[in-house]
Structure 1
Amino acid sequence: MKRLFVVFIMMIIGVNTWAQEEKLHWLTNFEEAQKISKEEKKPILMYFTGSDWCSPCKMLKEDFWDSPDFAVRSNNFVLLYIDEPRRTDIITPEQREYNRSLGRKFNQKGVFPNIVAFNYRGKVIGSINGYSMLRDTERHFTFVDSILENNN
């Protein structure tokens, strides 16, 4: 009986570790995201970040994007990652210029972090920016839940 209990506990630990290591599927091309969004009738979450310099972006990644609660919701979205790092070795010069062009169009104030939501028809349906130093994700979860409720 003890062996069975130990095996059971090891299985639970293994499943939990596997689930926590599951990564989100981020796209880096808006046109590709639009195509998938239209085919699958899913909203797009376009995430503007400064991955190597923006402290609120780093905290949002850890607290929100990497959370099990968001992982559950993520299958209902097409995720689009628009990084504007300061280091030049993180993305290619072409990707940097592409990301900046999207920023000029959809993040005109240059606020980081910034999330812009689109319905599957390509219309902007909402946005949220910033992140509390108190590390409270409630506002972000409320935002993504409202996008799911109103996706049409």
Structure 2
Amino acid sequence: MFSKPRQMQKSILIISLFVSSLISAQKWENDWSTAAALAKENHQNVVLVFSGSDWCAPCIKLDKNIWQSAEFQNYAKDHWTMLRADFPRKKANQLPEDQKNKNAQLAEKYNKNGYFPLVLVLDPNGNILGQTGFKNISVKEYIALLKSFEG
């Protein structure tokens, strides 16, 4: 007798949680031109992240501990344009050729030594304001570190 309403309530709850997670998910750009235009429009700097999402342990930790945290996402959405240049190695995770080329161009300009993870704070014109990598610090401390590059 109660199963239909409970089932519906459960379905509504699951859908609501899914939608809210999509809304709060970090918006990552994957193209410099788009990121720079958004940064200029929103009077923000760009946080450029070089990652190896399926092979680089510190990259994976940084993603899990910092980028995916609600605290970081809530701060970043109003303060930075996020740009990711990912270099996956596993065949199943390979990027489309045009994306590989975009990421290679970013690496040629900003990551010639191939450091992973490499996190750069850039102004909308592409000038480097500061750089870091994985740090075993709190989200609040990581935000403060990125903010410190902005002067």
Above 0.5 in TM-score?
Answer: yes
Q: Which residue of 1 aligns with 2:8?
A: none
| One-letter amino acid of the structure 1 residue matched with residue 87 of structure 2 | E
CA deviation after TM superposition for structure 1 residue 36, in Å: 1.0
| One-letter amino acid of the structure 1 residue matched with residue 49 of structure 2 | Y
CA deviation after TM superposition for structure 1 residue 137, in Å: 4.9
C-alpha distance in 1 between matches for 2:111 and 2:124: 19
Larger helix fraction of residues: 2
Quick check: 120-129 or 21-30, which moved more?
120-129
Supply the RMSD in Å over aligned alpha carbons. Answer: 2.5
TM-score when normalising by structure 2: 0.76
C-alpha distance in 2 between matches for 1:57 and 1:30: 20
| One-letter amino acid of the structure 1 residue matched with residue 121 of structure 2 | A
CA deviation after TM superposition for structure 1 residue 97, in Å: 2.1
Q: In percent, how many aligned pairs have the same letter?
A: 24
The 5 A counterparts of 1:47-58 are 47-58=49-60
Q: Does 1:77 align with 2:80?
A: yes
Runs of 5+ unmatched residues, structure 1: 1-13
Q: Which residue of 2 aligns with 1:112?
A: 116
| One-letter amino acid of the structure 2 residue matched with residue 115 of structure 1 | V
C-alpha distance in 1 between matches for 2:98 and 2:125: 27
- Residues 1:20 and 1:71: Cα distance change in structure 2 (over 3 Å): same
- The CA deviation string for residues 55-74 of structure 1, in whole angstroms up to 9 with x for no partner, is 11111111001112201211
C-alpha distance in 2 between matches for 1:115 and 1:41: 20
> Residues 26 and 73 of structure 2 are in contact (CA less than 8 Å); yes or no, is this contact kept in structure 1?
yes
SS of residue matched to 2:83: strand
The 5 A counterparts of 1:1-150 are 22-75=24-77, 76-89=79-92, 90-132=94-136, 137=139, 140-147=142-149, 150=151
C-alpha distance in 2 between matches for 1:33 and 1:130: 22
